[in-house]
Structure 1
Amino acid sequence: MKKKTKKSLIEYGIIIAIFGGLYITGLHTEVLGFLQRGILATGIMNPDLDKKDDPAVIENNPQADFSMKLINSKGEQVAMEELRGKVIFMNIWATWCPPCVAEMPGINKLYKDVDKENVAFIMLSVDQDFQKAIDYNNRKGYDFEVYEAVGGMPQMYHSQSIPTTYVIDSEGNLVLTHMGMGDYNTKDFKEFLEDQI
């Protein structure tokens, strides 16, 4: 009986040491994000773009708020108003958020596939230190630009959940709000974006 208890304590100690090491090194977000990619692969977290009863697909299409000012990774100021007339894919994320990390590879693939003349991406970091988001994006080699909001975010884009993704059509209407992670690198989602042009 004592051998069994001692063996259990050693096993728990090893597990705690592994998780403690991951947490201390900051790799826990990457590991959890990697595991959550498996959930993304099932498609159960994606917005159902065909169903009008899905709360993510907004039927009354309120006008989007274009008053947000942004700074990109190069320190350049960008007014969201400059993107009016394009479809906007806006994703609110943070480097410390495992679901955000999980969906990034798919978002990067989507970014590579869309027509940049008609679709703009705002990958809006809510990290307290924007440099962390810049370093993360560079380390991962993602092609999209990262931004931070200057002077706060309009109320319309406040969410209790990150990641949260918004799609604004070319006429300036908010047509999708998806709270939580999703796989956006799908045929259905690409067609949805094209329909918003």
Structure 2
Amino acid sequence: MKVSKPQVKNIIFLVILTVLFIPQTRQPIQILLHKGFAIFSPSTVEKSKQKTLVNYNWKLKDESGSVFNFKDIKGKVVLVNFWATWCPPCIAEMPSMQKLYDNYKDEIEFVFVSNEEFLKINEFLNKNNYSFKVYNPATNYPEIFDVTSIPRTYLIDKYGNIIIDKSGAANWNSDSVRKIIDGLLK
């Protein structure tokens, strides 16, 4: 029996669909796909379209229950990342986030935010050797953070201007992001 090209394509399509519906294989495949998207650097918001954060009234809690007041970092360069351990695009971009954090943790503020329980978060961080601190929101975030999907990341300059507003996975350790951060630190 000879198999035609359309039949081969249909078989491949059905295999891919089947693999995507099997829970054990779905997430790794989705992560792999998002890693492909995460090779691209996020772009800056056009100057005329930049929004400015004026309301820094936001409290977060770390795993020990200590309150972190977002007001305390007003006037600093800040990277805010909303994410979750179950989110394939979040997982895909985390290695680049860790590298950026390793290089800039003493120069800019990193605020990683998740609604998950710290037991789950810490398990994920430890498994992947991530060293950044994660917070749970204690109060509602400022309205300017329009988080309708994750990951959602904002790079904010010292004056509260949102320089980068990125939904989805990206390469945060790229030369272009580093150049933007270096410029903001001057």
TM-score (norm 1): 0.76
Q: Deviation at 1:131?
A: 2.9
2:32 pairs with 24, 31, 34, which one? 34
Counterpart-to-counterpart distance in 2, 1:79 and 1:98: 29
State the shift of 1:39 in Å.
2.6
Matched, 1:112 2:110: no
Letter in 1 for 2:127: R
Deviation at 1:147, TM superposition (A): 1.1
Query: 2: CA distance between counterparts of 1:171 and 1:118?
Result: 16
Aligned-pair CA distance for 1:133: 2.0
Structure 2 Cα separation of the partners of residues 14 and 105 of structure 1: 26
Superposed, 1:6-45 pairs within 5 Å as 16=18, 19=20, 23=23, 28-41=26-39, 43=40
- Offset of 1:14 from its aligned partner? 11
Cα deviation per residue 1:84-132 (whole Å; 9 max; x = unaligned)?
2221001111112111110000110111111x333010111133x3432
Corresponding residue number in structure 1 for 2:6: none
- 1:99 is the counterpart of 2:97: no
Deviation of 1:69 after TM superposition, in Å, equals 0.6
SS in 2 for 1:156: coil
Following TM superposition, by how much is the alpha carbon of 1:174 offset from its aligned partner in structure 2, in angstroms? 2.4
1:180 Cα offset (Å): 1.6
Identical aligned residues as a percent: 28
What are the ranges of 5 or more consecutive residues in structure 2 without an aligned counterpart?
Answer: 2-9
Supply the distance in 1 between the matched residues of 2:68 and 2:15 (Cα, whole angstroms): 50
Do the aligned partners of residues 73 and 186 (structure 1) sit closer, same or farther apart at CA in structure 2, a change above 3 Å counting? same
2:175 to 166, 178, 187: 187
Residues paired across the two proteins, number: 178
CA distance in 1, matches of 2:16, 2:176: 44
Q: In the alignment, is the contact (CA less than 8 A) between 2:35 and 2:169 conserved in 1?
A: no
Contact 1:110 1:185 in 2 (8 A): yes
**Counterpart of 1:155 in 2: which secondary structure?**
coil
Runs of 4+, deviation exceeding 6 Å = 12-15
Name the residue aligned to 2:42.
Answer: 47
Amino acid at match of 1:158: D
Q: Supply the distance in 1 between the matched residues of 2:16 and 2:74 (Cα, whole angstroms).
A: 54
Do residues 79 (structure 1) and 69 (structure 2) align? yes
8 Å contact from structure 1 (residues 36, 102) kept in 2: yes
Could you tell me which amino acid in structure 1 is paired with residue 113 of structure 2?
L
SS in 1 for 2:38: helix
Larger mean Cα displacement after TM superposition, 181-190 or 156-165: 156-165
RMSD: 2.9
List gaps (5 residues or longer) in structure 1.
2-7, 50-55
Task: In structure 2, give the amino acid aligned to 1:47.
Answer: P
Where does residue 62 of structure 1 map in the other structure? 52
Q: Distance in 1 between matches of 2:16 and 2:36?
A: 25
**1:100 corresponds to which letter in structure 2?**
C
